[in-house]
Structure 1
């Protein structure tokens, strides 16, 4: 696609310069010739000078314009390659580095420890996603669509974390009274388990929303 666009630009420049050269030759012919034309004897030296001037002017104009076109195309190509790399890195984080948090349902002390060990990395990963997203050059529909979809899952990433955090709080509270068998403690544990189930369902909803969007995302190809 990028090569096709560059070829089209070069063709347009060549047509424009060629038209300018032909126009210059036509005007020169009209100015330098005598009427009636059918009695006019072509001055070969003068014709040569006109042709030389025409091609010199054409070349002088073509060189900077061609350089500008190539430089502009290089900039576009550079942005496209940068977009591709950024989108691949974002999808890598979403599909691999955040896997440990997707649909994570804590139930024990070891789960609490696992959460504590990984939550800072979760925040760093999410922050990196949106920092990289800001660097993507939204210069075409595909890039805009990618940006909109990543922004769309921000709510679910936050919701996923908060639902897990609430489950962690409940697990810690439940663990503190797990050995108590009095009526109040038993009732309390029952309430905590219901709350745990509630946040588990919330977690699952955010997880499903995330997977639905992520599964449809593709890297921004050049």
Structure 2
């Protein structure tokens, strides 16, 4: 496909330069000739030579620009393919963390370790996103999906950490009096609401992840 686009650009350039050459030839011959007299072949040759010279003068830099631009786009496309594949790998590695239930984190030390691993993957994802070039609609759409995934990752962490803290508060409430039961009930409602939000995060993450694909050249 990239080869076809380059061929199209070259063909279009040849067409316009050919048209320029022909136009210059016709107009130059008309302006230099005395149309009331027989045609002078020397004038035609002179104009023809000038038109070819001008065409060649423009052809070299235009061809160089086309080839350089095509090389740059091709290089960016190859990088996009490599980096998008790595992004998908990181997204797959993040999934078990997104799917982690808050009760699996038993204490503050485990939470700290989990957070380090979670955000190590998150920042690796962010770093790789910066390497994607917005060179075409496909790449732009990929970046939009990744941006949504980024939002879900942060929201999921907020839910997980919130659930962990709420569960600690729930467990810390003493038993045996009406006030404690009311407080535990309040924490229980908040935990249920946070669990629903976290489930939505997982669902949204999976939905976005399934729509992501490698940016093949």
TM-score interval (norm. to shorter): 0.7 to 0.9
* Structure 2 partner of 1:5: 5
Q: Does 1:151 align with 2:147?
A: yes
Tell me the SS of whatever aligns to 2:102: coil
In 2, are the aligned partners of 1:90 and 1:129 still within 8 Å (CA)? yes
Per-residue Cα deviation, 1:125-169 (whole angstroms, up to 9, x for no partner): 223333443443334322332222222233322221122213333
How far apart are residue 82 of structure 1 and its match?
Answer: 3.1
Aligned to 2:14: 14
Whole-angstrom CA distance in 2 between matches of 1:100 and 1:83: 26
Return the alpha-carbon distance in structure 1 between the equivalents of residues 37 and 104 of structure 2.
Answer: 105
TM-score of the aligned structures, taking structure 2 as reference length: 0.75
Q: Distance in 2 between matches of 1:206 and 1:41?
A: 82
CA distance in 2, matches of 1:133, 1:161: 20
Task: Name the structure 1 match of 2:98.
Answer: 102
Find 1:123's aligned residue among 119, 126, 135.
119
Question: Which residue does 2:176 correspond to in 1?
Answer: 183
In 2 relative to 1, CA 170–24 (structure 1 residues): closer, same or farther, beyond 3 Å? Answer: closer
Structure 2, unaligned stretches of length 5 or more? none
Correspondence list, 1:4-83, <5 A:
4-30=4-30, 31-32=32-33, 35-37=36-38, 40=39, 42=41, 51-83=48-80
- Matching residue of 2:85: 88
CA RMSD of aligned residues (A): 3.5
Q: Closer, same or farther in 2 for the Cα pair 1:80/1:106, shift >3 Å? A: same
- CA shift digits 1:38-90 (9 cap, x unpaired): xx4745xx766654444333222211110011112222223333333333232
Are the equivalent residues in 2 in contact too, given 1:108–1:171 (CA < 8 A)?
no
Following the alignment from structure 2 to structure 1, what is the Cα–Cα distance between the partners of residues 28 and 153?
71
Q: Distance in 2 between matches of 1:111 and 1:163?
A: 16
TM-score (normalised: structure 1): 0.74
* Matched residue, 2:207: 212
Q: Which runs of 5+ in 1 are unaligned?
A: none
Change in CA separation of 1:195 and 1:34 when aligned onto 2, cut-off 3 Å: closer
In 1, the alpha carbon distance for the partners of 2:79 and 2:170 equals 49
